[in-house]
Amino acid sequence: MCGIIGCCASSSIKDILINGLERLEYRGYDSSGISYIENGKIITYKSVGKLINLKNKTKDININSSIGIGHNRWATHGEPSLNNAHPHISNNKKISLVHNGIIENYLEIKDILLGQNTSFYGKTDTEVIVKYIEYIYKGNPLDSLLTLNKVLKGTYALCIIFLDHPNKIFFLKKGSPLLIGKGKEEIYLSSDIFSLQNYTNLFLYIKDNQYGYISNSTYQVFEDGNYINTNFEKYDSKQIVEKLTTYNSYLEKEIYESKDVIKNIITKHINDSKIDFSKYKINKVIDNIENIVLLGCGSSYHSALIGKYIFEDLCKIPSSTYIASEFPYTPIIKKTNTLYILISQSGETADLISCLPLLDDFKLGIINVKNSSLSLKMDDNFFLEAGSEISVATTKAYLGQLTFLYLLGIYIANKKQLISKEYYLSLIQELESIPNKIKQILDNHQEIKDFSNIIKDYKNVFFIGRNLDYLTCLEGSLKLKEVTYIHSEAIPSGELKHGTISLIDQDVYTIALLSSNLRNKTKSNIKEIESRKGKVFSISTNDSNYNIPSTLEIFYPLLQIVPLQLLSLYTAENKKLDIDKPRNLAKSVTVE
């Protein structure tokens, strides 16, 4: 979380910083700020809340500086306020920096500085860094960064300007993403490539413990005091964020793109009705896999749960799933020949990265963002190639993750001869038909839109279903609560009577998924709800409030989630909420 940007140009950097921050807003929108050097001074503007506030504050300001840094904040230490907003400034006003990450030992460092009578204006860990640099700085920023890297514990991507080096921006990276972009007459630093898409397609990813500087014509990277030879890589236009055209929000656009994401993955991995994974290293270990551990957070954890079902059902491989933030603290009995599958849209989720030291067998990433921190630490990656996902709530990446899990499950089951040739072919054929079935759902959205008009006024919603239906309920419920702020909960329908049913009355709506072969049992549970005056909206293949196309039992998660994503979208639209940037959230969760 938090997005940082820096630019050394040959003309004013104002638009570059503001445009870049606009693209980085998905990483946090509690406050934003910029610092630049002009007329021998560091000048800083900050605003609390979304970037629009900073834009308004600076709109009439003529910035004649060609060097500056910027920041979007997702608050960790200290509430969203002007004092806690970045950039943070040294007491002598000669150093300004922006930071993405968390400094774990900032209180210890702060104590040292307080002992030196250093004053502080805010509550952040970042302010401690800039004050510490001021304390150790002897005129050579690179020396200070080398020392700083030894002192700081935690994660950090830093862009720093020093008044007495007015043509350079210095950087240091550990744990949080940072890259250099090379334009014609400018060099940039940023948390991601999307923020710079209008300016360059040449990028260099900085590695952990590397530091250095950029100017408008050159740059240098160091590690442990030694110069590192580096090169820029060209990124194709596919990585470029498209603008909203006919859609009202990125959430809507991305829901509509899901079918294309699935189609693309399928087309690239199915040849002549056979799954082709020959290019992947995982091929070499598949025959030896004795168990599978799937890790993820939020929606990616929900994908993992469906993955477990697939691997146990089709491949008969014992599988377990863990919420990544719990995994390091869970007593786990280690088994040999484990395949670890780490699922993440961003590839930057700190909770997943913190699991890495515990994973001592083959690690497969199912990741959207190439070159993300997690992807670089995997033994192999399935990249979703879903394009950038801008909406904070994930939709197309979730469906892309599921598609890879299905392909892998079917592939292993076939390789191990656990399924018949006919079943293998029917699974492939059916998977290939899913994008069209999703299109049918998207075309037939009016009933969902109408229902969103009703549900928008409810304060509590339950999602019920059994088995795979229940796993989709978990994702549907998360989607609804995060973008509409309606409290919701997913319950296996058979579990309702063991306690939660006491909450059912006329003020509670229940959304029931009835696609699994246990639908008749869920139908009985619906009756129990209705007898208690609870209202129910059912989703099934026929005879329900909203009918979806039918598919093979195992593939229903790919279809059922789509009306639930649409429901969240339309309900948020009805409530006039900021759909792509729900409160308190950030797209990339880089803190534990």
Residues labelled as active-site residues: 2, 587
Which of 295, 339, 419, 589 is close enough to bind ligand F6R by CB under 6 A?
589
Amino acid letter at 429? Answer: Q
**Nearest to 288, CA basis, from 412, 449, 191, 204:** 412
Which of 206, 353, 393, 567 is close enough to bind ligand F6R by CB under 6 A?
393
| 123 versus 487: smaller Cβ distance to ligand F6R | 487
Instruction: Establish if 197 lies at the interface with ligand F6R (CB under 6 A).
Output: no
How far is Cα 205 from Cα 191, in angstroms, rounded to an integer?
10
Region for 356 from its dihedrals, namely left if φ exceeds 0, alpha if ψ lies in -120 to 50, beta otherwise: alpha
In Å, how far are 360, 439, 511, 565, 566 from 549, measured between CA atoms?
42, 10, 18, 16, 16
**Nearest to 400, CA basis, from 589, 254, 250, 569:** 254
Which of 300, 388, 522, 560 is close enough to bind ligand F6R by CB under 6 A?
300
In Å, how far are 61, 144, 174, 291 from 255, measured between CA atoms?
39, 47, 34, 33
Minimum CB separation of residue 475 from ligand F6R in Å reads 8
| 125 versus 482: smaller Cβ distance to ligand F6R | 482
| 180 versus 369: smaller Cβ distance to ligand F6R | 369
| 149 versus 394: smaller Cβ distance to ligand F6R | 394
Minimum CB separation of residue 293 from ligand F6R in Å reads 16
Report yes or no: 27 and 178 within 8 Å, Cβ to Cβ. Answer: no
Measured N-to-C along each axis, helices 556-574 and 446-455 cross at an angle, to the nearest 10 degrees, of 50
Instruction: Establish if 349 lies at the interface with ligand F6R (CB under 6 A).
Output: yes
Instruction: Establish if 565 lies at the interface with ligand F6R (CB under 6 A).
Output: no
Instruction: Establish if 387 lies at the interface with ligand F6R (CB under 6 A).
Output: no
- Tell me the residue number closest to ligand F6R, measured at CB: 298
How far is Cα 352 from Cα 366, in angstroms, rounded to an integer?
12
Minimum CB separation of residue 397 from ligand F6R in Å reads 7
Which of 210, 299, 321, 452 is close enough to bind ligand F6R by CB under 6 A?
299
Which of 70, 87, 101, 298 is close enough to bind ligand F6R by CB under 6 A?
298
| 112 versus 585: smaller Cβ distance to ligand F6R | 585
| 299 versus 319: smaller Cβ distance to ligand F6R | 299
Minimum CB separation of residue 300 from ligand F6R in Å reads 4
The 3-state DSSP class for residue 353 equals helix
How far is Cα 65 from Cα 53, in angstroms, rounded to an integer?
21
| 266 versus 297: smaller Cβ distance to ligand F6R | 297
Q: According to CB under 6 A, which residues from 263 to 292 bind ligand F6R? A: none
Phi, then psi, of 584 in degrees rounded to 5:
65, 0
* Residue 422 CB neighbours (<10 A): 8
Minimum CB separation of residue 567 from ligand F6R in Å reads 14
Amino acid letter at 588? Answer: S
Sign of the torsion angle spanned by Cα atoms 341, 343, 346, 350:
negative
Q: Tell me, residue by residue from 470 to 499, as one string, x for binding to ligand F6R by CB under 6 A and - for no binding.
A: --------x---x-----------------
How far is Cα 12 from Cα 66, in angstroms, rounded to an integer?
5
Which of 100, 201, 321, 346 is close enough to bind ligand F6R by CB under 6 A?
346
| 84 versus 477: smaller Cβ distance to ligand F6R | 477
Task: Answer whether the bond into residue 87 is a cis peptide, omega within 30°.
Answer: yes
Q: According to CB under 6 A, which residues from 107 to 126 bind ligand F6R? A: none
Minimum CB separation of residue 100 from ligand F6R in Å reads 15
Maximum pairwise Cα distance, the chain? 77
Residue 115, H or E segment:
helix 106-115
| 347 versus 409: smaller Cβ distance to ligand F6R | 347
Instruction: Establish if 297 lies at the interface with ligand F6R (CB under 6 A).
Output: yes
Count of residues engaged in binding ligand F6R, rule: CB under 6 A: 13
Instruction: Establish if 366 lies at the interface with ligand F6R (CB under 6 A).
Output: no
Query: For the sheet containing 338-344, what is the strand order?
Result: 319-323, 291-296, 338-344, 362-367, 380-383
Minimum CB separation of residue 451 from ligand F6R in Å reads 20
Write down the residue that tokens 């503001």 correspond to. 18
Residue 82, both tokens:
């002007």
Minimum CB separation of residue 252 from ligand F6R in Å reads 14
Minimum CB separation of residue 499 from ligand F6R in Å reads 26
Minimum CB separation of residue 369 from ligand F6R in Å reads 8
Residue 216, both tokens:
């408008």
* DSSP string for 395-429: SHHHHHHHHHHHHHHHHHHHHTT-S-HHHHHHHHH
Stretch that binds ligand F6R, among 14-22, 90-98, 233-241, 294-302 (CB under 6 A): 294-302
How far is Cα 419 from Cα 421, in angstroms, rounded to an integer?
7
| 1 versus 413: smaller Cβ distance to ligand F6R | 1
Check residue 321 and report its DSSP letter. E
Q: According to CB under 6 A, which residues from 38 to 97 bind ligand F6R? A: none
Q: According to CB under 6 A, which residues from 325 to 344 bind ligand F6R? A: 344
Interacting residues with ligand F6R (CB under 6 A) = 297-300, 344-346, 349, 393-394, 478, 482, 589
